[in-house]
Amino acid sequence: MSSNNFIGKCVIFSAPSGAGKTTIVRHLLGLNLGLEFSVSATSRSPRNGEKDGEAYYFLSVGDFKNKISSGDFVEWEEVYSEQFYGTLKSEIERIWQLGKHVVFDVDVVGGKNLKSIFKEQALAVFVQPPSIKALEERLRTRGTESEASIMKRLDKAALELTFESYFDVIIINDDLDDAKAEAAEVVTEFLNS
């Protein structure tokens, strides 16, 4: 896939929405581990403060479907009706050309798919909330979701928690500082192996 000599490793972080994976990934990116964030593409609208090319590559549904047809994605899925998420091949190329390892912050199905594609080249980490109740409290505290959206995310989370066996490492995010430290330890060990 890479046009230069460097083929990096991949670190995949997946979790139900609100479990803390994004906070953990941001922490790792600040640790000088040679990681670069893989910006996913989505057909959903930007939330407040999200910039195209930073939070996501925001595409129209039509553009997303065209890129699917063109084979531009490593993996993609329709998470909710007409709401697509995916990883562009060009994004992995960009990161490897920088001589860095890719870190993904993706939902559980995306994480499972990426692990099946990259196999031993990837470390798949599942961030688990201490409970569904704790997850509900985190989603409500965010203040970014409607009641219907919270209920939809909680239903999805219950299903996603059944996917943990597809991942190499499970980190229970009961205490954020502990979860960050554990993540740094397992990722460092993987990158140095």
Q: Could you say which residues of the chain have pLDDT below 70?
A: 1-5
Q: How many residues does the chain have?
A: 193
Residue 159: inside a domain, yes or no? yes
How many domains does the structure of the chain reveal?
Answer: 1
Residue 1: inside a domain, yes or no? no
Residue 85: inside a domain, yes or no? yes
For 20, list phi and psi in degrees, rounded to 5.
Answer: 110, 10
pTM of the model: 0.86
Contacts of 46 (CB under 8 A, 6+ apart): 52, 55, 56, 58
Residue 165: inside a domain, yes or no? yes
Give the tens place of pLDDT for each residue, 168-187. Answer: 999 999 999 999 999 999 99
What's the pLDDT at 31?
96
H-type alpha helices, the chain: 21-29, 61-69, 89-97, 108-118, 132-142, 147-160, 176-192
Count other C-beta atoms under 10 Å from residue 164's C-beta.
Answer: 14
CATH of the domain at 115: 3.40.50.300
Residue 5: inside a domain, yes or no? no
What's the pLDDT at 3?
46
Residue 38: inside a domain, yes or no? yes
Residue 175: inside a domain, yes or no? yes
88: closest CA among 42, 29, 25, 35?
42
What are the structure tokens assigned to 67, written together? 């890129």
Residue 3: inside a domain, yes or no? no
What's the pLDDT at 84?
95
Q: How far apart, in Å, are the Cα atoms of 185 and each of 1, 104, 125, 169, 188? A: 28, 17, 12, 11, 5
Domain housing 105: 10-192
Contacts of 101 (CB under 8 A, 6+ apart): 8, 9, 10, 11, 33, 34, 35, 36, 95, 191
What's the pLDDT at 5?
65
What's the pLDDT at 171?
97
151: closest CA among 98, 80, 95?
80
SS3 state at 103: strand
What are the structure tokens assigned to 104, written together? 């993904």
